[in-house]
Amino acid sequence: MKQILTKCLAALLLSLTLHPAVAADRAHTLKVYNWADYIDESVLDDFKVWYKEQTGEEVDVIYQLFDINEIMLAKIERGCEDFDVVCPSEYIIERMLRNDMLLPITQDFGQTPNYLRNISPYIIERFNKIDGSGKNANDYAVGYMWGTTGVLYNTRYVTREEASTWAVFHNEKFAKKIFIKDAFRDVYSTILIYLRQKELAEGTLTLDQIMYDSSDASIADVEAFLKQAKRLVAGWEADFGKEMMTKEKAYINLTWSGDAVWAIEEAAEVGVPLDYVVPKEGSNVWFDGWVIPKYAVNTKAARYFINFMCRPDIAIRNMDEIGYVSVIASEEVLEAQCDEELEQAVDASYFFGEGAESVKLNSVMYPDRSVIERCAMMHDSGARTPNMLEMWARVKGDEVPLWNLAVIVVSFGVLLVFGIRRKLKRRQSHRRKRKVTPKRKK
């Protein structure tokens, strides 16, 4: 307990040092905690103007970043941080609901339009499946971005048929040209779907049942698959896999659809042909959403911020900036995303509703209904999470001698500073490119 209190005090002092005005006027400050590179940051200033127009109140925004769900959750669990709005993934939303860590999101916005009504019915339906121990997730969370997990591949070296199965990670042809996302849940669930094909075909198991399965037997089966694949894997990546693909340092990457969109566009500019596919066996479909933690202070600004983020024009700006897909399914979003120059149409009626049965949309961003029907949502594994983490550590060989810990911490700090500078330079370069890139024909 003493260590926890010490850490909390240190975090508080650091926060006051970085933001001295917060202590004096916390009631007019909104603290947002989001994934890195996951918003068009110019909308934050626009929100402050919009909030003043809607409420007559001033608000300042403190925007902080995280890279791992569990790190974000640990801060909130300890009660060290009083973030007003956080953006966790679906399984973390599930865990937070079960542990009474969230406040309900009141949809009383006075004369301000309720933009939450623009959320796709498909997203609402998925959130209804979040197991919140009797609580409806749609009362406590609002979707933000969503996508699939699949295979990004170089069409110069890998055929679509080869990439269309999770067995590609055992293909000797691509030894040391494979990167796998360092996200144990996404990898675990997709591989388990592959390993349970017989049961799925026989009807003795459903995709939803597989998403809840964290038994010793299933963990052992996935571990065996991954250990066999390990000798062919060049690395486990949290963010750099897409860059390795654009530079042709790798030919295959188990990754998220949003990263795939970024990589495909970047690679095309330098003549590298990339594509993305959700393997035929099935995969997971993931969601990130806005929540208000129980330690939030400015809950009014928090729910107005969430409402603002659901405005179609704001959703479009965020999508254009980060490459991921918004949960907003308004006519404006559909019109903005349609591209008549695409060769094939997709059935996106599951997302946009009637009239979207055959529309020219990027199939990486908006998979066809036939793809979505073989995907399922991940769930929190609760008390079984340590077992899965231990398996993941064994596969990667992450056991670290204690005497190395200090060196790692110092090295991580240096790399973090370098990484932040590099990201800022890359973001500035990306924005410069966007200014001279012709807009896509609608």
Please give the Cα distance from 207 to 420 (Å, whole number): 39
Q: Which residues contact 128 (CB under 8 A, 6 or more apart)?
A: 136, 137, 138
Question: Which amino acid would we find at residue 2?
Answer: K
What's the CA gap between 294 and 326, in Å, rounded?
A: 25
Task: Please provide the DSSP assignment of 333-350 as one string.
Answer: HHHHH--TTSS--B--HH
**Would you state the pLDDT for residue 239?**
84
185-189, 320-324, 393-397, 438-442: range with lowest mean pLDDT: 438-442
Q: Dmax over Cα atoms in the chain, in whole Å?
A: 63
CB atoms < 10 A from the CB of 78, how many?
14
Q: Where on the phi/psi map is residue 401: left (φ > 0), alpha (ψ -120 to 50), or beta?
A: beta
Regarding predicted confidence, which is higher, 14 or 250?
250
Tell me the per-residue pLDDT of 353-388, one tens digit each, with 9 for 90 and over. 999 999 999 999 999 999 999 999 999 999 999 999
The pLDDT of residue 407 is: 34
CA separation, residue 51 to residues 44, 48, 69, 401 (Å): 11, 5, 28, 51
- The residue ranges of DSSP E strands in 76-140, in sequence order, are 85-86, 102-103
Q: pLDDT higher for 56 or 13?
A: 56
442 SS3 class: coil
Assess whether pLDDT exceeds 90 at residue 25: no
Average pLDDT over residues 35-40: 94
Q: How far is CA 293 from the centre of its chain?
A: 19
Closest by alpha carbon to 353, among 21, 40, 121? Answer: 121
pLDDT at 376: 96
